[in-house]
Amino acid sequence: MPLHLVPPGDRKGNRYYYVRGEIAGRSVEVSAKTTDKAAAERFKAALELRLLEDRVPEPGEEITFAKAVDLYTAFRSPSKADLKRLDRLKRALGQKMIGALRQADLIEAANTLHPGRAAATRNREVMRPAAAVLHYCARNGFCGWLRIELFKEPRAKTRAVSREAATAIISGVSEMPTYQRARSAKWMAAAEAKQRKKQLLLLWLFRQGPRISDALKIQGENIDMARRTVTRRIGKTDEHDVVEPLHDEVWELLANDPPGAGWLFPWRTKSGVYKWLRPLAKGLDIAFTPHMARHSLGKWLNEEGASLREIMDTLHHTDPKSSIRYQSTDIEVIRQTGKRLGNLLGREPRKRRKS
């Protein structure tokens, strides 16, 4: 039954025109909030158009990329970061019909939205989100299958530091700087507390492996000292209430300086961390950024024989490709792996002579 108007007074003494009927599989009964028939007709036409646009398309029906994004978003519930990417894509490609989209359209959108940016950036911001939308539509019969080729990215590099360098960086903040004039006891106590937070943050980055932005959002209430766990959010994937164990060294620092309520660390942005971290690393002649601590943890786990699954779980990777980079072909790692296979000649291998 298509939508039609019910005049005022024809239904339970209604004062205004009512719109009733069924459209796009939905039953409708709503007041037009007017006694003017022409205005009610316009209201009914606008309502029909909106409901037709909001309905789920039939397989084979042509839809715009903007509509496709809305359908995909309702299905997938993307993270905030992905929603921003999809919103930018809607502005760039929204009025194009998905059946007419080609690889060249996505390349043009990527180069327009992110001119001069690295291939990895254009893939992350445009190519992968667009591919996810189009593949969702193809599975539902809204368009044909389109294989999306990504921009060629250079092989991901693991930027890690040695354990000796990590120890030097953490130890580098243990001593209070020398001041030219005397300070009050209260001021010195606050400065010493901040030094302890610096050391805790660096140890936390190396031992727990979070991204710096996630580490700075940890609050004292998130830490369970009895269970030795921390509950936190993973910003990149928008996961909440992720529980992970506290490393013994981290727990010991926290036990000696118990966290209170509120933010665990006093810096709200990573730029605040860089103000003291850059001079520290430069003074030690060590190339270091907070994210390198995360890379270092992945590399150290690999050196200790951790499996791909263990590296993924520790660093909270959702894509195995992100963790495989840490399973490096370090020659000593390969040598030790080969030794575990045993001997085929039936005798112990000859020992190398000492020169």
What does the pLDDT look like over 284-295, one tens digit per residue? Answer: 999 999 999 999
Report the pLDDT value the prediction gives residue 325, as an integer from 0 to 100.
65
DSSP lists the bridge partners of residue 332 as none
How many Cα neighbours within 13 Å face the side chain of 151?
23
Least confident range from 70-79, 213-222, 224-233, 321-330: namely: 321-330
DSSP lists the bridge partners of residue 219 as 263
Could you give phi then psi for residue 23, rounded to 5 degrees?
-150, 140
The confidence band for 203, taking pLDDT boundaries of 50, 70 and 90, is: very high
Spell out the domain ranges in the chain. 4-54, 65-139, 163-335
250, 248, 266, 267: which is closest to 258 by C-alpha?
Answer: 250
**Rounded to 5, what percent of the chain is helix, strand, coil?**
50, 10, 40
The confidence band for 212, taking pLDDT boundaries of 50, 70 and 90, is: very high
- The rounded distance, in Å, linking the Cα atoms of 343 and 345 is 6
Inform me whether the pLDDT recorded for 346 exceeds 70.
Answer: no
Report the pLDDT value the prediction gives residue 86, as an integer from 0 to 100.
94
Inform me whether the pLDDT recorded for 277 exceeds 60.
Answer: yes
Report the pLDDT value the prediction gives residue 179, as an integer from 0 to 100.
65
- The rounded distance, in Å, linking the Cα atoms of 213 and 207 is 16
CATH class of residue range 163-335: mainly alpha
Tens of pLDDT, residue by residue over 39-86, are 988 888 887 767 666 666 777 778 899 989 988 887 877 878 888 999
Inform me whether the pLDDT recorded for 1 exceeds 80.
Answer: no
**If you average pLDDT over every residue of the chain, what do you get?**
85
**Non-local CB neighbours of 109 within 8 Å, separated by 6+ positions:** 89, 92, 93, 126, 130
Least confident range from 46-60, 200-214, 323-337: namely: 323-337
Residue 279 CA from chain centroid, whole number: 29
The confidence band for 24, taking pLDDT boundaries of 50, 70 and 90, is: low
Report the pLDDT value the prediction gives residue 46, as an integer from 0 to 100.
80
Report the pLDDT value the prediction gives residue 341, as an integer from 0 to 100.
63
Alpha-helical segments (H) within 173-289:
185-208, 212-215, 248-256, 270-284
- Long-range contact pairs involving 84-89 (C-beta distance under 8 Å, separation at least 24): 85/124, 85/125, 85/126, 85/129, 86/129, 86/133, 88/113, 88/125, 89/65, 89/113, 89/126, 89/129, 89/130, 89/133
- Structure-derived torsion over alpha carbons of residues 166, 172, 175, 177, reported in degrees to the nearest 10: -150
Report the pLDDT value the prediction gives residue 7, as an integer from 0 to 100.
86
Inform me whether the pLDDT recorded for 214 exceeds 90.
Answer: yes
Mean pLDDT calculated for residue range 218-245: 90
- The rounded distance, in Å, linking the Cα atoms of 278 and 267 is 15
